[in-house]
């Protein structure tokens, strides 16, 4: 069996390279554990000054987490396996966020869900013309986890709320415009960038700046005023009503998109981002997201959403509750409530 993460060192630089090309490098629990162990070792190794994170062959940086494992757990073991996956994946996200040595993520290709969770904690985040960034979870009855509450709530205006609800994809130029990426490089410059960083890990910022180019105009920029207007409220019903009252083609398109999403997890995402914006630590955010994940995993919308979008590909999910109005505040409160003693998320020791 191939290594699903290639782990190397080059001089004073550690190198993590995701290696599940047939699954677009989607994360398994074993991959999370391997990355976490390597980062722990390198943190204690004075010789290692920086870490490169990329993918091996094939498309995609990382398409997400192991959705099939999560659905199987939801249907067969009451969510126990899924909760274990979320718990340790979130430990990796937090470990990377707090990491004392700079990590450079090369988001060359699809960067979605779990891929966002390992890219955005990195100090340097490189986009290219191949980057396709999204948090599409509401379309399968999940929510933008892996630190999405923290990262999306801290983007400018209401862009984070728009991305969380619609699952809209951003290209590399848009990622750079939004601050999701710190640098924009042509894909054909990545090999040179990695080689130079491996030789001079103390010069990462300079190397990336020297190889950066001006990205194309960000398409999302011209829609920012619309996004800020229509997605201004933290009440999902208000957002739907605002779009319904606008007869523009753009509003009709976004409204049609939202009609395909789980009303429950759209409301969860809005609460998640609003609450996260008030938090002082990433650990507190991950504790909150683990509470949400533990509950959303076994609610009807997740297994149904994965069936409709990923398993059967019929794209006809029957959401329960079916409308925003039917998703009660009591239900949302129960999803966010603390877990029983001994079951809360905790960072790696």
Active site residues: 65, 114, 137, 145
Strands 170-171 and 132-134, bridge-based pairing = antiparallel
Cβ atoms 38, 45 nearer than 8 A: no
Cβ atoms 86, 78 nearer than 8 A: no
163, 229, 241 from 245: Cα distances, Å: 21, 12, 6
DSSP secondary structure string, 11-55? Answer: TTEEEEEE--GGGTTPBPHHHHHHHHHHHHHHHT-TT--EEEEEE
What is the largest distance, in Å, between two alpha-carbon atoms of the chain? 60
How far the first Cα of the chain sits from its last, in Å, is 30
| β-bridge partners, 15 | 8, 52
Strands 110-112 and 132-134, bridge-based pairing = parallel
Could you give the CA distance from residue 196 to residue 190 in angstroms, rounded to a whole number? 10
Return the number of other C-beta atoms located less than 10 Å from residue 333's C-beta. 10
Return the closest-CA partner of residue 27 out of 107, 111, 98, 103: 111
Return the closest-CA partner of residue 33 out of 73, 85, 78, 76: 85
DSSP secondary structure string, 274-330? Answer: HHHTT-S-HHHHHHHHHHHHHHHTTSHHHHHHHIIIIIS-------SS-SGGGS-HH
């Amino acid at each position: 069996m191939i290594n699903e993460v290639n782990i190397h060192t080059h001089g004073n630089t550690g190198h993590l390279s995701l290696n599940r090309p047939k699954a677009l490098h989607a994360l398994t629990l074993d991959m999370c554990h391997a990355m976490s162990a390597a980062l722990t070792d390198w943190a204690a190794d004075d010789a290692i000054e920086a870490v490169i994170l990329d993918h091996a062959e094939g498309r995609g940086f990382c398409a997400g987490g192991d959705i099939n494992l999560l659905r199987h757990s939801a249907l067969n073991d009451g969510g126990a396996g899924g909760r274990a996956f979320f718990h340790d994946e979130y430990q990796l996200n937090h470990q990377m966020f707090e990491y004392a040595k700079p990590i450079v993520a090369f988001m060359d290709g699809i960067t979605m869900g779990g891929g966002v969770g390992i890219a955005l904690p990195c100090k340097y985040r490189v986009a290219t013309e191949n980057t396709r960034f999204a948090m599409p979870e509401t379309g399968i009855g999940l929510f933008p986890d892996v630190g999405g509450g923290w990262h999306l709530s801290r983007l400018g205006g209401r862009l984070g709320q728009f991305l969380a609800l619609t699952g809209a994809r951003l290209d590399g130029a848009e990622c750079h415009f939004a601050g999701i990426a710190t640098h924009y490089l042509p894909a054909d410059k990545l090999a040179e960038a990695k080689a130079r960083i491996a030789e001079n890990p103390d010069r990462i910022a300079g190397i990336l700046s020297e190889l950066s180019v001006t990205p194309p105009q960000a398409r999302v920029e011209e829609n920012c005023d619309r996004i800020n207007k229509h997605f201004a409220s933290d009440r999902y019903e208000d957002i739907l009503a605002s779009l319904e009252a606008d007869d523009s083609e753009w509003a009709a398109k976004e409204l049609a998109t939202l009609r395909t999403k789980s009303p429950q997890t759209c409301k969860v995402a809005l609460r998640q981002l609003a609450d996260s914006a008030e938090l002082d630590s990433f650990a507190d955010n991950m504790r909150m997201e683990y509470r949400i994940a533990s509950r959303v995993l076994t609610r009807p919308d997740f297994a149904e959403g994965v069936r409709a979008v990923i398993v059967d590909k019929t794209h006809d999910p029957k959401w329960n509750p079916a409308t925003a109005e039917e998703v009660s505040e009591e239900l949302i409160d129960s999803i966010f409530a603390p877990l029983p003693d001994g079951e809360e998320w905790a960072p790696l020791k």
